[in-house]
Amino acid sequence: RLKDKKNGFHGHGKTFMKNRLFANALIASGVEENHSVNIIGFNSPEWLISYYGTLMANMITSGVYTTNGPEAC
């Protein structure tokens, strides 16, 4: 279960649906399968949703630290 500051806890079903929505948004945006998606941010429900959504869309996740410069992206 994920804890969201605004809405409390998310169950597995709600989290799965958000992951799938993110995956569909990547596909609709034109990101192709097996391409890399950079994810930047702190540990949060949104980071986890974007991570699993990227995997569900058959894409590669790349975590980026907030201290990285533009050349790392």
Prediction pTM value = 0.77
Tell me what pLDDT residue 1 has. 55
The answer to whether the Cα torsion of 41, 43, 45, 51 is positive or negative is positive
DSSP state of 41: S
pLDDT 10s digits, 6-64: 666 667 788 899 999 999 999 999 999 999 999 988 778 888 899 999 999 999 998 88
CA–CA separation, 58 and 61 (whole Å): 10
In this predicted structure, what is the pLDDT of residue 6?
Answer: 65
